[in-house]
Structure 1
């Protein structure tokens, strides 16, 4: 961003957005993150995330994506004291990933209370990666290799479009782009969750699948299991989705800020061992190319 007044304006939007879900923004937490990534924010896509469930209580998450492909967002976080260096493999994974694979762009997540949380590494849309190659990374959770057959059976293993690394929770998100249409049909969702030893999907999850474009899995270093499966749909108006929106999200939706002509949201439902929870990502600074990067058009 070109000056401190623009940065201050973004901070105010973040603060007001958090207040919509009764979360108090910590300036001591957020301002150092904004200044650390300041030079990249003018062209970044900015989104906010609201989620239900116990693990998401008490914080409000922000996401900056479309950061430069040659940037190491975790190195920036370490250099600016936003994250603590660790000997755990989570700390070396991003470096290994960026050295070994083509990266189209990067991103970060942070909470207005919890601070820096995640990095995102986007592969080129015309060069999706294979899990059989990714599992060669020394720092990747062993559970990824352990579930390679699972992802192969469901025709996802060769479609990795995005890798997210969660540093506080020491987990990895694997996004699968342009997944087969049957992935999002009721039988497909049931089969995937059953195979992952997760609970039978709710009717709301099955209905969301009718309009979904995305599926991703969460794995950790501490468990051999696929921890969570998430199904996501993109829409300019979440109220038109064939699901009942959670009250917490609906309240936020009514006043969610945006600074671009187009409004876009991603509504997602996650299946976890503790049950399902809902997430809404609202884009404050939207760019139409996001649909291409997320391969949304493949399911429209």
Structure 2
């Protein structure tokens, strides 16, 4: 499949999913991003996701893998005008990270309404400790400020880092979470230390199944702005097992969005807390990159 054909196919899927959700989809906002990163699109992994809370949903997010051996994804975003050049450490973070760890693949992230938002570097084969991250010159000092908190709550190995150039924030994705992290006491006390509501009932049970957890922080304050708990992706997902009720349009979107590898897509769900409250992000993987296939096989035991 050529890059142009792959881009048309991906756009068609996004457009269909937006229709299911009742979210306006404008080709001129999405197409430039698909074509800018079209070199690896034929073999790219992709997940679509939507946040609960707004009725109807306010946006549809898409996350697409970008080969590590291709053009620098931040440089592409700059050249295409998706982000603006900044005299700030955020502009150097991906380059500094890549000099210290072999990145397996990148991801770009955007919303069909909100536009381009983030670049992620994924390095699951060589996770970094908090202290190793803290040695990167352009990393936010808030990582060092929170090192003791991470240690107390069993957050040790980071396998992915996301950079939001508009908000100048970083997401740290902690992997290989020990059982001690998933204890009810630990999760409640972690949220409490962050000044966020303690998970209760179904939300607590959901958080205790976490496969990965991420935090959002920045350069201007030591405060952790958001925490997310994400169990491993599942097939044959059960809406009744989720800690929040779903708008019928979201359930239809997850069930009806077409994927390229099976008629039973893997579905990812992530529960997030921030100053704005609790919400769930939910969506199907519609394409699988080779690395995503391997990771899902390790998690689920399924051959894909």
TM-score of the two chains, using structure 1 as the length reference: 0.89
How large is the RMSD of aligned CA atoms in angstroms? Answer: 2.6
Decide whether aligned partners of structure 1 residues 69 and 139 sit closer, same or farther in structure 2, where only a CA change above 3 A counts. same
User: 1:123 maps to what in 2?
Assistant: 123
Q: Which moved more, 1:42-51 or 1:83-92?
A: 83-92
SS state at 2:238 partner: helix
Distance across 2 between alignment mates of 1:295 and 1:219 = 31
Distance 1:128 1:78 in 2: 27
Q: Which residue of 2 aligns with 1:103?
A: 103
Give, in whole Å, the separation in 2 of the partners of 1:137 and 1:165: 14
Quote the offset at 1:244 in angstroms: 4.2
Provide the residue aligned with 1:11 in structure 2: 11
Residues 228 and 294 from structure 1, CA distance in 2 versus in 1: closer, same or farther, beyond 3 angstroms? farther
Q: What are the Cα deviations for residues 3-42 of structure 1, in whole angstroms up to 9, with x where unaligned?
A: 5333222211111112222211221111111111111111
Give the 5 Å matches for 1:86-165: 86-125=86-125, 127-157=126-156, 159-165=157-163
Output the CA distance in 2 between the equivalents of 1:258 and 1:81: 30
User: What is the CA–CA distance in structure 2 between the aligned matches of 1:291 and 1:12, rounded to whole Å?
Assistant: 23
Displacement of 1:288 after TM fit? Answer: 7.4
Structure 2 stretches lacking a partner, 5+ long: none
Q: After the TM superposition, which residues 37-76 of structure 1 pair with which residues of structure 2 at under 5 Å, given as runs?
A: 37-53=37-53, 58-65=58-65, 67-69=67-69, 71-76=71-76
- In the alignment, the residues of structure 2 paired with residue 10 and residue 107 of structure 1 have an alpha-carbon distance, to the nearest angstrom, of 15
Q: What secondary structure sits across from 1:198 in the alignment?
A: coil
Shift of 1:52: 2.3
Please state whether the residue corresponding to 1:20 is helix, strand or coil: helix
TM-score by length of 2: 0.88
Whole-Å separation in 2 of the counterparts to 1:243 and 1:231: 12
Partner of 1:269: 271
Tell me the residue number matched to 2:183. 185
Q: 3-state DSSP class of the match of 1:278?
A: strand
Q: How do 1:115-264 and structure 2 match up within 5 A? A: 115-125=115-125, 127-157=126-156, 159-233=157-231, 234-239=233-238, 242-248=241-247, 249-261=250-262, 262-264=264-266
Contact 2:194/2:224 (CA < 8 Å) preserved in 1? yes
Provide the C-alpha distance between the structure 2 equivalents of 1:202 and 1:168, rounded to a whole number of angstroms.
Answer: 33
Give the ranges of 4+ consecutive aligned residues of structure 1 lying more than 6 Å apart after TM superposition. none
Matched, 1:290 2:292: yes
Aligned equivalents of 1:71 and 1:20: distance in 2? Answer: 34
Measure, in 1, the Cα distance between the counterparts of 2:296 and 2:96. Answer: 23
How far apart are residue 57 of structure 1 and its match?
Answer: 5.8
1-structure distance, mates of 2:176, 2:293: 12
